């Protein structure tokens, strides 16, 4: 068996949970549509109507600002000259809907519940208030003025105002690739843009690559561009081949040139799929050791190693570990003598012996056991309110939450606490902890101390050279405060599956999808389940599994089904890590 590895792909259009959550490697990234948002009609407003009243002017401007035209010229036609010079269209406020008020005191106010914002660099920031359908109602004021007898907007806040459906129609999620600290894995940084012209899109993506990753990844990345080069002189010309001028590239080491080529190829492959590319320095081709002076994204597949196409599925039954067919594992793990409540399994390169970690005992005083399938499990010193364990990808290193702390156990070493830091205070009990497929990020479910919410937080895993010291950095919540989350799993590098419920409605647990940046929070179906799901596992190209009241279920199309001919007893399903 081989460890689960990362596939370079991004799930494309919105579907109900299907039997295969992955997409082919050649798929272009698409926005995932929430099931409760219809496809909006294209705005038809082309210019201000003659003698229109102030409210009509604002309504038509809001339609025109959803048009994708050069510099939003149509929308600017509704503004005075002064407003046109001040207004910027490089940011976005995404709202659930808009209500435009009446003309009072020289102004019109539109109101909508804000879902999130998009910065000029395409970084989406979610609004965390609310229950996933929006936050507080925000006013958008438009000061009106008559110009040559016609009403125009004379003052407004900068940025586009788009309804959710408009945003998802106009904007695509793209990926900018950066190397982690180990320089072994490329990590996609998701960005949203409305650009579709290949030349402009390639230039924009290259600009984001030069500028570096979002703040949450700053502590965990390694730059590959030449430090001595002027970023303003880096340029791209699409063609055969596509050329990227990078001053100083010829003076980089061979390994750095390879990594730079990989970043450029995988980032720009979204614009010109399969195109051959070449790095130039002062107009001269720069050689890359893996491919000479011309390369394609496929030649750097090792940086985004494909996922295991069919990772094995396991779950707990009567304290024993069984596979998807219900067959017990060999030895101690399959006997049930450890009375396991949860388990994590990982393969070892060149060995058929699986790494294993499990929890046992009462919920408030559980114990962590660690070992292998062949040797059985040994007890560690960790006791307390434990989360399910998880293995760090490609490492003999198991992580687990214990109350509000995170610990890791490497080999036979005693447990070591992992420092955790965020932009603000990080508090609450760790209910769940999961690594991204390549191991550079971690998703955690943290209970609020007041007990009235639990959110998914995502942070960067920062390792020192030699990996002797590890910490979680830039941990930030990505899900609304009005959701009580109980479990989380990574579907791919950019998408998470979540079990949670809306706090205000006293509803049952539901399955949600959410992107790693908090965008596209989307409820999914729980058809056929006998109750509320309590745990979930998923991986690329395989169906999700959940447990419900001591039974396990697998996704089938848009619903869930028993994996066998009758109800299958078990809990805490997990894919081989």
Concatenating the DSSP letter of every residue in 526-563 gives: -TT-SS---EEE--TTS--EEEETTEEEEEETTEEE-S
Out of 120-134, 248-262, 296-310, give the one with best mean pLDDT. 248-262
> Rounded to an integer, what is the distance from CA 91 to the centroid of its chain?
20
What pLDDT score does 503 carry?
79
Rounded Cα distance between 216 and 184, Å, is 19
CA distance 434 to 324: 21
Query: Which among 240, 298, 297 has a CA at the least distance from the CA of 266?
Result: 297
Name which of 3-12, 187-196, 240-249, 536-545 the model is least confident about: 3-12
CB 536 within 8 A of CB 574: no
Report the distance separating Cα 226 and Cα 249, nearest Å: 6
Measure the CA–CA gap between 432 and 434, rounded to whole angstroms.
7
Q: How confident is the model at residue 44, as a pLDDT?
A: 56
Say if residues 337 and 379 touch (Cβ distance below 8 Å): no
Please, what CATH class does the domain formed by 314-575 belong to?
mainly beta
pLDDT at residue 32 above 80? no
Residue 21, pLDDT > 70, answer no
Confidence at 423, pLDDT banded by 50, 70, 90: confident
Q: Which of 78-82, 241-245, 508-512 has the lowest mean pLDDT?
A: 508-512
Measured distance CA(185)–CA(94) in Å, rounded: 32
> Distance (Å, rounded) from C-alpha 224 to C-alpha 261?
9
- Which has the closest alpha carbon to 387: 403, 371, 373? 403
Given a cut of 60, whether residue 419 has pLDDT beyond it is yes
Could you tell me where in the chain the CATH 2.120.10.30 domains are found? 314-575
**Alpha carbon of 421 to those of 288, 451, 516: distances in Å?**
38, 21, 18
What tokens appear for 179 in the block? 């190397």
Higher pLDDT among residues 97 and 372, named by residue: 372
Q: What confidence score (pLDDT) does residue 20 get?
A: 37
Q: What is the mean pLDDT of residues 387-405?
A: 95
What is the per-residue pLDDT for 451?
Answer: 60
Beta-carbon count within 10 A of 550 CB:
15
Q: What is the DSSP pairing of strand 172-180 with strand 221-222?
A: antiparallel
Give the span between the Cα atoms of 178 and 188, in whole angstroms. 7
Single out the residue of 150, 183, 148 nearest to residue 51, CA to CA.
Answer: 150
Take residue 485 and report the two structure tokens written for it: 């989350």
The span from the CA of 119 to the CA of 529, in Å, is: 40
Tokens of 109: 């106010």
Cα 203 from chain centroid (whole Å): 24
Comparing 20 with 306, the larger pLDDT belongs to 306
What does the pLDDT look like over 57-91, one tens digit per residue? 999 999 999 998 888 999 999 999 999 999 999 99
What is the pLDDT averaged over residues 342-363?
94
Whether 161 and 95 have beta carbons less than 8 Å apart is answered as yes
Instruction: Decide yes or no: CATH 3.30.70 for domain 54-170.
Output: no
Question: Which pair of tokens denotes residue 203?
Answer: 């230039």
What is the model's pTM? 0.86
Among 76-90, 222-236, 292-306, 479-493, top mean pLDDT goes to: 76-90
Taking the C-alpha atoms of residue 360 and residue 14, their distance in angstroms, rounded to an integer, is 39
**362, 504, 352, 346: which is closest to 410 by C-alpha?**
346
> Coil, helix or strand for 2?
coil
DSSP 166-196: HHHHH-EEEEEEEEETTSS-EEEEEEEE---
Strand 277-281 relative to strand 242-245, pairing: parallel
State how far the Cα of 576 lies from the Cα of 319, in Å rounded to an integer: 18
The count of other CB atoms within 10 Å of the CB of residue 577 is: 27
Assess contact for 539 and 1: CB atoms under 8 A: no
What sign does the dihedral 394-21-490-336 (CA atoms) show?
negative
Cβ atoms of residues 267 and 279 within 8 Å: no
Q: How far apart are CA 356 and CA 576, in angstroms?
A: 10
In angstroms, the CA 174 to CA 208 distance is: 11
pLDDT band at 41 (very low <50, low <70, confident <90, very high): very low
Q: Which of 360-369, 520-529, 567-576 is predicted with the least confidence, judged by mean pLDDT?
A: 520-529
What are the contacts of 286-289 at 24+ separation with CB within 8 A? 286/246, 286/249, 286/250, 286/257, 287/257, 288/257, 288/258, 288/261, 289/254, 289/257, 289/258
- Calpha distance 510→546 (Å, rounded): 11
The model's pLDDT over 462-484, given as tens digits with 9 standing for 90+, comes to 988 766 789 999 999 999 888 88
pLDDT value, residue 327: 96
Q: Which residues of the chain are in CATH 3.10.450 domains?
A: 54-170
Residues 89-142: pLDDT tens digits? 999 999 998 999 999 999 999 999 999 999 999 999 999 887 766 678 999 999
- Mean pLDDT estimate for the chain: 87
Query: Above 70 in pLDDT, residue 33?
Result: no
Residue 550 has pLDDT above 90, yes or no: yes
pLDDT surpasses 70 at 14: no
CB atoms within 10 A of CB 258: 20
pLDDT at 45: 64
Q: What values do phi and psi take at 456, rounded to 5?
A: -85, 130
Bridging pattern class, strands 551-556 and 137-147? unpaired
Starting at the edge strand that comes first in sequence, how are the strands of the sheet with 320-323 ordered?
320-323, 313-317, 571-575
pLDDT > 50? residue 9: no
% residues pLDDT > 90 (the chain): 69
- Per-residue pLDDT of 430-456, as tens digits, reads 999 999 998 999 999 999 765 667 999
Interacting residues of 452 by C-beta distance below 8 A, sequence separation 6+: 503
Residue 403 backbone zone (phi > 0: left; psi -120 to 50: alpha; other: beta): left
Q: Which of 295, 292, 246 is nearest to 269 (CA)?
A: 295
| Exposed/middle/buried for residue 102 (C-beta within 10 Å: 0-12, 13-18, 19+) | exposed
Burial label for 281, CB within 10 Å (0-12, 13-18, 19+), is: middle
Both tokens of 330, joined, read: 């060999």
With contact defined as beta carbons under 8 Å apart, do 567 and 338 qualify? no
Lowest mean pLDDT among 67-76, 106-115, 143-152, 401-410: 67-76
Condensed to tens digits (0 to 9), the pLDDT of residues 322-342 reads: 999 999 999 999 999 999 999
Band of pLDDT at residue 4, cut at 50, 70 and 90: very low
């Amino acid at each position: 068996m081989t460890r689960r590895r990362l596939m370079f792909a991004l799930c494309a259009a919105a579907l109900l949970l299907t039997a295969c959550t992955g997409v082919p490697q050649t798929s272009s990234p698409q926005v995932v549509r929430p099931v409760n948002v219809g496809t909006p009609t294209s705005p038809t407003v082309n210019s201000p109507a003659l003698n229109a009243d102030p409210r009509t002017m604002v309504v038509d401007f809001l339609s025109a600002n959803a048009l994708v035209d050069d510099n939003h010229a149509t929308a600017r036609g509704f503004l005075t000259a002064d407003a046109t010079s001040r207004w910027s269209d490089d940011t976005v406020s995404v709202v659930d809907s808009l209500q435009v008020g009446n003309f009072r005191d020289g102004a019109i106010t539109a109101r909508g519940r804000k879902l999130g914002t998009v910065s000029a660099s395409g970084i989406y920031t979610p609004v965390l208030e609310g229950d996933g359908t929006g936050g507080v109602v925000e006013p958008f004021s438009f000061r009106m003025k008559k110009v040559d007898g016609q009403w125009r907007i004379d003052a407004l806040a900068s940025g586009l105002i788009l309804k959710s459906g408009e945003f998802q129609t106009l904007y695509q999620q793209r990926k900018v690739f950066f190397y982690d600290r180990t320089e072994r894995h490329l990590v996609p940084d998701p960005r949203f843009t409305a650009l579709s012209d290949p030349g402009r899109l390639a230039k924009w993506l290259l600009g984001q690559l030069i500028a570096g990753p979002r703040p949450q990844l700053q502590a965990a990345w390694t730059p590959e561009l030449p430090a001595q080069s002027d970023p303003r002189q880096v340029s791209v010309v699409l063609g055969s081949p596509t050329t990227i001028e990078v001053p100083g590239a010829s003076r980089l080491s061979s390994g750095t040139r390879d990594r730079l080529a990989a970043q450029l190829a995988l980032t720009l492959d979204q614009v010109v799929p399969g195109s051959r590319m070449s790095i130039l320095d002062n107009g001269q081709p720069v050689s890359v050791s893996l491919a000479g002076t011309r390369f394609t994204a496929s030649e750097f597949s090792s940086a985004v190693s494909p996922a295991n196409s069919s990772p094995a599925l396991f779950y707990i039954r009567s304290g024993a570990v069984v596979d998807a067919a219900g067959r017990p594992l060999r030895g101690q793990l399959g006997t049930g003598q450890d009375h396991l409540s949860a388990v994590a399994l990982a393969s070892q390169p060149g060995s058929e012996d699986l790494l294993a970690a499990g929890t046992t005992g009462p919920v408030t005083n559980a114990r962590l056991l660690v070992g292998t399938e062949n040797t059985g499990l040994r007890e560690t010193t960790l006791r307390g309110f434990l989360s399910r364990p998880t293995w760090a990808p490609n490492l003999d290193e198991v992580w687990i939450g214990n109350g509000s702390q995170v610990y890791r156990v490497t080999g036979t070493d005693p447990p070591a606490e992992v420092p955790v830091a965020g932009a603000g205070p990080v508090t609450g009990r760790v209910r769940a902890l999961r690594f991204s497929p390549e191991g550079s990020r971690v998703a955690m479910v943290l209970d609020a101390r007041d007990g009235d919410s639990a959110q998914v937080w995502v942070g960067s895993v920062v390792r020192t050279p030699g990996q002797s010291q590890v910490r979680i950095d830039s941990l930030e919540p990505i899900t609304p405060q009005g959701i009580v989350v109980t479990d989380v799993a990574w579907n791919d590098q950019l998408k998470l599956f979540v079990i949670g419920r809306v706090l205000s409605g006293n509803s049952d647990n539901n399955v949600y999808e959410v992107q790693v940046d908090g965008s596209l929070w989307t409820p999914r179906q729980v058809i056929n389940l006998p109750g509320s799901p309590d745990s979930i596992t998923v991986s690329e190209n395989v169906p999700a599994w959940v447990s419900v009241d001591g039974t396990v279920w697998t996704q089938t199309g848009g619903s869930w089904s028993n994996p066998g001919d009758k109800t299958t007893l078990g809990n805490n399903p997990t894919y081989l890590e």
